[in-house]
Chains A and B, each alone.
Chain A
């Protein structure tokens, strides 16, 4: 796809290819929607502002329904602005195999991009959404705020993959909240492999009876990058379950990894892990796991480890003839390799490709 003022390389870095088979597309540059399309019956993709007119319940119930408009200055700013972003709706029982691709491009120098998205899956609906966020060129600077409110009906399933490819002059404040309905399934897959000035992100899932929320994140923090990132799963219904898995590599950047699981009802099960790899002495990985149990019949656990590349593993590979750089690269690739159960092969391949592209030039 060729868009003036957008570096095509940047689109590749977030896996966006409008020509590839997908059920729909959405692309916004700064505050202008460039591309919006649904190619599947039962799938609606429209600008959020327009959706307010078509579906009155959005403004009444869903818009700032699970995100507090007074959470911070950006949410207040967003609440008082004309919303720019998508409304994605999958009708009851509609199951879509091909992923929907969305791209959020930031180009206007020194500005603040405010995005507000709402995703609504009706009962029994299924879809995978790949969100890519990037600067339009390598030189863009400013602030990106992305609010995403997700509502999953009973027995529905959403795979939500977020690929971040920012620059070291951009500050990013995603605000995410997910309502996981009864027996619904939510899988979040977050990948950030490039330098960024600052990212603060802490999505919260409210998981109802029998539902599940699983968060997977892969962060490669380059020198000067600052991440305050994580996820919270509030297991609010009986038998709800949550999983939060993080892999963090610091190549001189700072990562605060926050994870929280809270079990309030009988039969809730949750597990979280954060594994951190420090490539040099300049980086910091600060893992903050939290477990909160409010019922005796729950099972919550966590594990965390932060360390360097094992000398034994490194030398093992080098005895096979690999140089130290090759061996380190192989170990880091392996460390970041999370195969996510339930993620379609096509989306997994896309994630793998984005990681490979990013890692190839950085190790």
Chain B
């Protein structure tokens, strides 16, 4: 039984098919990075895994720890061990960040120490994401994930809208969350990271990269090599080389 197994996944949003048959597997302890142009279906894939409303699975399955996520509610998926860091988290007036954190995991020491590590101590008594800058929102997302402590973490562009200084703060915490200091064989947490800039890969080494274009996986392989190709030639020109690489490669070298 695989950790995460996505088979022939088709997903529609408002009646329009966005994901058109994706197969993707991820082992426990591994980190996958997803590249792809805007509108290719990357965020839709993460949202579908997390069970967010509006993403309709029309065909195929997502199995996580052997359970079909298509049959579970959002909170059941969460409690099964999946957490997501949003690209654009909503602001919720009146609900204090600390109140949410306590509801996620009433661990006062953890809340105090992790909020300090993410420079968010002064934000605990503020309404969630209300008036937060891009970087503050992303740090808040990471803080919530820390308390949630999921087995599979989904990061939707964790560095977008974040300045260089804060990218290192976020990335180093993510690195710790993913147990990158441990030998590969001892890591238990997995993640899927969507990135456009690739900045986070300077800190968090991914094991495998997938390239998604127009709702399909067009290639997979070494994160470093694929990212270099994209930077040099762009997505369209690389489509053919991705296809050549995409020959059953399931694990890549660390970047």
Contacts and interface: CB of A to CB of B under 8 A. Distances in A.
Contacts of B51: 319
Q: Is the interface of B mostly helix, strand, loop or mixed?
A: mixed
Given A315-B53, A319-B52, A319-B75, 15 more contacts: A311-B53, A315-B52, A317-B92, A317-B100, A317-B103, A318-B78, A319-B74, A319-B84, A320-B144, A321-B148, A322-B103, A331-B95, A333-B95, A334-B92, A335-B94
27 contacts: A313-B92, A315-B52, A316-B86, A316-B89, A317-B103, A319-B51, A319-B52, A319-B83, A320-B83, A320-B100, A321-B75, A321-B78, A322-B103, A322-B104, A323-B75, A326-B103, A327-B75, A330-B95, A330-B99, A331-B92, A333-B94, A333-B95, A334-B93, A334-B95, A334-B96, A335-B93, A336-B94
Interface residues of B, number: 27
B90 A316 contact: yes
B59 interface: no
A323 B103 CA distance: 10
Nearest to B129: A316
B127 interface: yes
B231 interface: no
Q: 8 closest A-B pairs (Cβ-Cβ)?
A: A334-B94, A334-B95, A318-B74, A337-B94, A321-B78, A318-B75, A312-B90, A320-B104
A326 to B, nearest CB: 7
A320 B127 contact: no
Contact of A319 (B78, B93, B95, B103): B78
Most chain B CB within a 10 A radius of its CB, from A316, A324, A330: A316
A310 interface: yes
B73 interface: yes
Interface in B52-105: 52-53, 73-75, 77-79, 83-84, 86, 89-90, 92-96, 99-100, 103-104
Q: Is the interface of A mostly helix, strand, loop or mixed?
A: helix
Contacts of A326: 103
Interface of A: 310-313, 315-324, 326-327, 330-331, 333-337
Contacts of B99: 330, 334
Interface of B: 50-53, 73-75, 77-79, 83-84, 86, 89-90, 92-96, 99-100, 103-104, 127, 144, 148
Most chain B CB within a 10 A radius of its CB, from A313, A315, A323, A333: A315
A339 to B, nearest CB: 9
A42 to B, nearest CB: 36
Nearest to A327: B75
Nearest to A339: B94
A312 B128 CA distance: 13
A324 B90 contact: no
B93 to A, nearest CB: 6
A232 B146 CA distance: 48
Contacts of A327: 75
Given A312-B90, A315-B53, A319-B50, A330 B100 contact: yes
Contacts of B93: 334-335
Contacts of B96: 334
Nearest to B101: A320
Contacts of A313: 90, 92
Contacts of A317: 92, 100, 103
Contacts of A333: 94-95
Contact of B74 (A315, A336, A337): A315
A335 B104 CA distance: 19
Contact of B104 (A312, A321, A323): A321
